[in-house]
Structure 1
Amino acid sequence: MSSVRRVLLIDLLGGLGDLIMVLPSVHALADAHPDAELTVLTQAPSVPLLARDPAVAAARTAEQRDERAAVEQALADLAPDLTVTTTRFDGIGDLVEADAAARGTRAVANLWRSPPADELVGERYQRILAAEGVIADEVRPPRVVLGDDERAAGRAALVQAWGPRWRSSSGNPPARFDSAPTVLVPDAGMAVKRWPARRWAELAATLPGPVLSVGPVDGATELPPTDLRGLAAVFAAVGEAGGTVVGPDAGAVRLAAAVGARAVALFGPTAASRYGLEEGTNLQGLPECPHRMPTAITEQVCWWDAGCPLAPEPACLLDLPVERVREAVAPGG
């Protein structure tokens, strides 16, 4: 039986996808230390993901540019027996290690040690934690927990969005599309990760079955705005209906996979071998790009301003033709 009573996991990397990649480690820590209270310290926009997760006793937030102070406060308030952090900037890794040394507790403060270019980030986290002896040696995929009421609301939202193509059937869920729906998620949060808008429109025009979108796409029916958990519930309903969510390397497509939807992710500047989905289809554009740095993506020449040295637009994304994406979404369809 574990003697750990308080666990603090720190993920302040800033993105929704970053928290989703660490969720398997959260769940593994909860399983390994069943009598412990597990607290997650992360940025506020991602906290709703944890709202109904039985593994998480509490969530704390940190404001941007004030992350170190939030870590200091969490360590002082919680006095954790075990601290795990994905975050090392601003001396946070050193702070966590020093706190553990001063109190005689455990810390795993460098989950980015010697990263190979061909190991998925979330799986790398788990293997390091297992090697440190703080979780079981079992790699698992991300899961976001939804309540039955949320899943029902997601189905209802999908019915409302595409009522003309929806018909009743028996069982659970109690309704389904005549043909599997596809949801397109064009935005990526960063210009360097965006597949061209004209290609999204061409994809929408050639897909069989209902085509919906998160945000505007010519030729697709736009889903009504909702919050993060509402979007997760809609994605879960898409999965139940046998549908697919397509998007760039960003949090939304990771969220879809984490609630059980089939997902197709488009990778340009980032390496799918390192940042790909654990479950789903990862399409890598221009795999031989000489400027890609799989273990140091923020140092790539294109990263911050999408200025590609090979083409007027990111050449890696131009290397993903509509036909290839369509075949991944609807093989032979």
Structure 2
Amino acid sequence: MERSREPTALVLRALHVGDLLVAVPALRALRRAFPGHRMVLAAPGSLAPLVPLTGAVDQLLPTSDPDALAWTGPPPDVAVNLHGKGPQSHRALDATAPGRRIGFRAPGWPGPRFEEIALRHPHERERWCAMLAAHGIPADPADLRLPPPQETPRCGSHAPVLVHPGARYGSKRWPVRRFAEVAAVLHCALSPVLITGTADERELALAVARAAGLAESRVLAGRTDLAELCALVAGAALVVSGDTGVAHLAAAFATPSVTLYGPVGPQQWGPPADGPHAVLDEPGARRGDPFADDPDPALLEIGVGDVLRAAAALRGTRARALR
């Protein structure tokens, strides 16, 4: 007898580190809703180290953006749009001729209207869970934690403090001099500071180190891949950063963090309120352009003292939690 084909659920989320992490509760809800399906996630190949930690995905289909979705198998039994409200992302999934469509309402797509969900659920994590709930798939937005990698690096016998000055857009980058002042104060034998970032952010990280009086060996920007960064964040005593992917990693691993918000507030992208996280936000000064080249005025309203006070309040949080 011919073996029946394994049913497949294709999920589109062709975005970045933080975008994947806020979608973890929705991915896990889909895993529970379709336990017999092969769960295929269409997302950038660079996210491969993170995907297994979700416990919800069987296969990563490298996809840099919706138009690059290359589905070559039989039509998926279920297509789930966790990428956006359409039409580009809906159109990419329509091309696979799925048996069932799960997403926001559009021609050929049943479901809730994006505007109605966004009004009631401003946070990105809650928004996708609410969309699934409207399709009859219960989802818990608090189900975001990831298991830590098996080995987490340390600086001697002490967990490091990570200072991450970079961000994808200038609107979310706090000034170098301020990051340097924070790094200089936080760096000591009991909490050695490491400066993280991508290869493109290495010069920025080196500038912070020089201004802080730290050795170049303290700069890990450009020297770690995503798997190594995950291990660093999971084992850190504290993470200080702007609103970028490393802040979402800290939330996922329950690592104490201080996150500085600029053009977009924590109401949409912030960590869970019950975690060891401090959010610094000055909404009254917000310009709100996330793609600007210069720091948002709301970000510039946050002072070095604000960050240091928040860091001091969090010191020891992880040690107490592990007792």
Which of the five TM-score ranges fits, normalised by the shorter chain? 0.7 to 0.9
- In 2, the alpha carbon distance for the partners of 1:125 and 1:252 equals 21
CA 1:185/1:112 → structure 2, altered by over 3 Å: closer, same or farther? farther
* Number of the residue aligned with 1:170: none
2:79–2:99 CA contact under 8 A, matched in 1: no
* Number of the residue aligned with 2:224: 226
Note the residue ranges of structure 1 that are not aligned, 5 or more in a row: 167-176, 293-299, 308-312
TM-score (norm 2): 0.76
* Number of the residue aligned with 2:243: 249
* Number of the residue aligned with 1:23: 24
Whether 2:287 is the aligned partner of 1:291: answer: yes
* Number of the residue aligned with 1:276: 270
Instruction: Give the count of matched residue pairs.
Output: 280
* Number of the residue aligned with 2:195: 213
Whether 2:84 is the aligned partner of 1:105: answer: no
2:104–2:114 CA contact under 8 A, matched in 1: no
1:83–1:96 CA contact under 8 A, matched in 2: yes
Whether 2:138 is the aligned partner of 1:124: answer: no
SS of the aligned residue for 2:102 comes to strand
Whether 2:90 is the aligned partner of 1:96: answer: no
> Where does 1:1-333 land on structure 2 (aligned, <5 Å)?
5-12=7-14, 14-51=15-52, 53-64=54-65, 67-70=66-69, 73-74=70-71, 77-85=73-81, 86-88=83-85, 91-96=88-93, 104-109=99-104, 113-114=114-115, 115-116=118-119, 119-134=122-137, 136-146=138-148, 150-152=149-151, 154-155=152-153, 158=154, 162-163=155-156, 166=157, 177=158, 181-207=160-186, 209-210=190-191, 211-214=193-196, 215-216=205-206, 217-218=208-209, 219=212, 220=214, 221-223=218-220, 225-238=223-236, 243-278=237-272, 279-289=275-285, 291-292=287-288, 300=289, 303-307=290-294, 313-331=295-313
- Cα RMSD of the aligned pairs, angstroms, is 2.8
CA 1:118/1:263 → structure 2, altered by over 3 Å: closer, same or farther? farther
- In 2, the alpha carbon distance for the partners of 1:288 and 1:81 equals 47
AA aligned to 2:12 is I
2:173–2:242 CA contact under 8 A, matched in 1: yes
CA 1:255/1:332 → structure 2, altered by over 3 Å: closer, same or farther? closer
| Structure 1 residue 285, shift from structure 2 partner | 3.3
| Structure 1 residue 88, shift from structure 2 partner | 4.7
* Number of the residue aligned with 2:320: none
* Number of the residue aligned with 1:310: none
**Identity between Structure 1 and Structure 2 (%):** 26
**Cα deviation per residue 1:105-127 (whole Å; 9 max; x = unaligned)?**
23224688111386310111112
SS of the aligned residue for 2:48 comes to helix
- In 2, the alpha carbon distance for the partners of 1:50 and 1:68 equals 21
- In 2, the alpha carbon distance for the partners of 1:112 and 1:323 equals 43
- In 2, the alpha carbon distance for the partners of 1:126 and 1:332 equals 29
- In 2, the alpha carbon distance for the partners of 1:332 and 1:45 equals 31
AA aligned to 1:116 is L
